[in-house]
Amino acid sequence: MKAQDLQHIAAGFTHEAFGSQAVFRAALDALSHPGRPILMPTDCALPRHGQPAAAALLLGLLDADTTLWLSPALARSDTAMWLRFHTGCHIVAQASEAHFLWIALGDALPALDTLRLGSDAYPDQSATCVIETLAVHADVAGWTLQGPGIPDQRQLQVNGLTPDFTQAWQHNHASFPRGVDVLLSTPTHVVGLPRTTRITHTQEA
């Protein structure tokens, strides 16, 4: 990284330890309560590209032992340099090699079954996808979610994903204990979709 590039990198968390802890708690809350929008703390300067909630989430979760794949709109932006500088993460060119993936709004999502799925013995070695959306609406018809962390069932409407996402997710869910976990983002919130969650269209439930 060239010295002249450093002056253009936005700052990270105002208080690194507190900021990382707040983000980790929000991410854990989201994955523990699938389908519930969780406000993501953004006590940090942000890159010019990418949704603030997704940026803060990855700023708090990445470290020097993790690999990250960025979708094309983000890979061509200041985002990669910002995350590399503040977290030490390694940016990879192949989505299949990444521990974390950040998919910008409008960019294609790599096929879930081509990503790191873990194994029956080590399911924790799978990938986590952070996918930007236009909006999420809790308790609104669209998807019906069922599984651990959901009392009975939960309704969720998601705007900005391709229609074939639910079909891909059904295959991902069926691979349990292998499979990827997903965090959907809006500019301000995240929604957890762990691989244990079953998704059907509301009219089919």
Which CATH number covers residue 51?
A: 3.40.50.11310
Between CA 200 and CA 111 the distance in angstroms is 19
The three-point CA angle 26-86-71 to 5° equals 75
In a domain, 204, yes or no: no
| Whole-number pLDDT of residue 204 | 46
In a domain, 123, yes or no: yes
In a domain, 141, yes or no: yes
DSSP 68-88: EEE-HHHHTSSHHHHHHHHH-
**Within 13 Å and on the Cβ side, how many CA atoms surround 34?**
22
In a domain, 203, yes or no: no
Number of domains, the chain: 1
What are the CA-CA distances from residue 94 to residues 18, 116, 158 (Å)? 32, 11, 27
Between CA 155 and CA 125 the distance in angstroms is 29
Nearest CA to 157 out of 37, 28, 61, 55 is that of 37
| Whole-number pLDDT of residue 3 | 40
H helices then E strands: how many in the chain?
A: 6, 10
DSSP type of residue 10: P
| Whole-number pLDDT of residue 42 | 86
Query: What length is written for the chain?
Result: 205
Contacts of 195 (CB under 8 A, 6+ apart): 126, 172, 173, 175, 176, 177, 178, 179, 180, 181
In a domain, 164, yes or no: yes
DSSP type of residue 126: B
Provide the residue range defining the domain that includes 161. 7-198
Show pLDDT as tens, one digit a residue, over the chain (205 residues): 444 455 567 677 777 778 889 999 999 999 999 999 999 998 777 888 999 999 999 999 999 999 999 999 999 898 999 999 999 999 999 999 999 999 999 999 999 999 999 999 999 999 999 999 999 999 999 999 999 999 999 999 999 998 899 999 999 999 999 999 999 999 999 999 999 999 998 754 3
Pairing status of strand 67-70 against strand 38-39? unpaired
Tokens of 122: 């080590």
In a domain, 139, yes or no: yes
